[in-house]
């Protein structure tokens, strides 16, 4: 079998000390392979967000190892980790985090700007992604003038613009109504299907989780069950 794109070994995360000690993750070991779609499912407080932060290299585990393409990242310098995040990951957040003062194009090319790409190349890549998501006509609009669905599509565009290997989506439909949720879900799974992008979705939404190939059910900092195969959702 190929080297997993992300793997963890005995991942532990503890917040606080003594009486206020809280074990957010209690020793998780699993793998995510390239091209997989994985849902991390659980109630709030189950540790799913903490797990995503560790997988996305936004946080350091108290104990255990996260490895990216077979390489443990614990020993890397912060600057190198920042660069890895910029190169390999795309992020879609529940609260869009778009800069209201900037145009859609400026917003979605932020990862490229951080990567140090020149302006014309940035804008070219940005327009490509916006066309892919049918947002090209909104490129010059201010981010505040978009509807919720358009905002989330802009976020997806931002996550895709650096051609990431892994796309992390943290409650991507949490702020959207049912109809727009479906459109956003279609886009995400379309990307996974058509471009083979690895999708890691953190959600408490069973319907969204059901569309993933694999579901890690979390409770109190542990993976209680693991389900495989896309579930048919009853209408």
Q: Is residue 118 close enough to count as binding another protein by CB under 8 A?
A: yes
| Residues between 184 and 223 that touch another protein (CB under 8 A) | none
Smallest Cα–Cα separation from 104: which of 159, 148, 146?
146
Contact region with another protein (CB under 8 A), list: 17-25, 90-98, 187-195, 205-213: 90-98
User: Least separation, in Å, of the C-beta of 73 and another protein?
Assistant: 13
In the list 99, 144, 145, 225, the residue contacting another protein (rule: CB under 8 A) is 99
CA distance 60 to 66: 9
Q: Select 165 or 213, whichever has its Cβ closest to another protein.
A: 165
User: Least separation, in Å, of the C-beta of 95 and another protein?
Assistant: 8
Number of residues lying near another protein (CB under 8 A): 25
Q: Is residue 59 close enough to count as binding another protein by CB under 8 A?
A: yes
In the list 15, 16, 43, 58, the residue contacting another protein (rule: CB under 8 A) is 58
**Is the CB of residue 126 less than 8 Å from the CB of residue 158?**
no
Q: Where does this chain bind another protein (CB under 8 A)?
A: 53, 56, 58-59, 78-79, 82-87, 91, 93, 97, 99, 101, 110-111, 113-116, 118-119
């Amino acid at each position: 079998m190929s080297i997993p794109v992300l793997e963890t070994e005995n991942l532990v995360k503890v917040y606080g000390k003594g009486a206020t000690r809280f074990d957010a993750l209690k020793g998780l070991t699993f793998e995510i392979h390239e091209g997989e779609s994985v849902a991390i499912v659980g109630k709030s407080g189950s540790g799913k967000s903490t797990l995503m932060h560790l997988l996305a290299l936004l946080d350091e585990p108290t104990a255990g190892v996260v490895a990216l393409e077979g390489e443990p990242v614990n020993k890397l310098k912060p600057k190198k980790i920042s660069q890895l995040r910029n190169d390999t990951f795309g992020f879609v957040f529940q609260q869009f985090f778009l800069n209201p003062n900037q145009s859609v194009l400026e917003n979605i090319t932020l990862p490229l700007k951080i990567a140090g790409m020149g302006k014309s190349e940035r804008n070219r890549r940005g327009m490509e992604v916006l066309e892919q998501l049918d947002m090209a006509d909104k490129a010059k609009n201010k981010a505040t003038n978009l509807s919720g669905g358009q905002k989330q599509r802009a976020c997806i565009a931002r996550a895709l613009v650096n051609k990431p290997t892994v796309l992390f989506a943290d409650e991507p439909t949490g702020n959207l109504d049912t109809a727009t949720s479906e459109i956003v879900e279609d886009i995400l799974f379309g990307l996974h299907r058509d471009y083979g992008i690895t999708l890691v979705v953190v959600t408490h939404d069973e319907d969204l989780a059901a569309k993933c190939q694999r579901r890690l059910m979390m409770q109190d900092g542990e993976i209680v069950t693991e389900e495989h195969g896309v579930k048919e959702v009853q209408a």
